[in-house]
Amino acid sequence: MDLGFAGKVAVVTGGGSNIGRAISHEFGKEGAIVAILDRDKAQADRTAAEIVDAGGRAHAFALDVTDVEATKVTVAAVEREVGPIAVLVNNVGWNGKAEFFLNLTPERWNQAFQLNLFSTFNVTHAVLPGMVERRNGAVVSIASDAGFGEFRMADYGAMKAGVMAFSRTIAKEYGRYGIRANTVAPGLVIPPPDAIGEGSLWKIDIGMGPKEIQNIEAGIPTRRRSEAVDIAWSVLFLASDRARQLTGQLVSVSGGLAMPR
């Protein structure tokens, strides 16, 4: 199926590792020009090189998506050097080690806010004016099933619920300008070692061993965890013109573990 991305610029935040890497690769396969925005520049370069080696087009940009001024500068550079941004994927996010609420510190709350919610505000705020001017664009934000309320994920879940609400607000406010905004909520996705860089937050111990993972899988109707590419396929569909009447929607990609209404 031709999703119509040939020659269009797709920005993927955190596009060097794990889910972001898979999303970047799938856009590359569809002929998009992929702009990878990642704080781990070395890994972003590697992912971009993989896409180019496979016959696609990709560019890597170093960016801390919580830095307001740096984000403005980087988005301007993408539009100047790569082209007008047609698709934005807000992929950056991190849950850290699962903890009971009373064990969470204000520093941890702030980190959760910065990485999971503020980063989405920040990059969207920088990209959206160009989309409004061109009266066309698609924004897909990565949330999490934790956003429906999850054990030992009070901080992360609250921020991802915020991403869901934010995406719906963008859909309502900017649909009149030809802009669609949707959300994909993955379940547990554990990357293989070759899918993450040394600067990835996945290098930090999340406190989840084989037994915990096995218990999670036992509760999934399909009896399997999602892989990063499963998330990527949903993102690409929602960003494509094939989904032109889908906006403000939430898709849970978790094998049925979550079934939001």
Concatenate the DSSP letters of all residues of the chain into one string.
---S-TT-EEEEETTTSHHHHHHHHHHHHTT-EEEEEES-HHHHHHHHHHHHHTT-EEEEEE--TT-HHHHHHHHHHHHHHT--EEEEEE------S---GGG--HHHHHHHIIIIIIHHHHHHHHHHHHHHHHT-EEEEEE--GGGG--TT-HHHHHHHHHHHHHHHHHHHHHGGGTEEEEEEEE------GGGS-TT-GGGS--S--HHHHHHHHHTSTTSSPPPHHHHHHHHHHHHSGGGTT--S-EEEESTTS----
**How many Cα atoms within 13 Å fall on the side-chain side of residue 226?**
25
Q: How many residues in the chain?
A: 261
| Active site residue ranges | 156
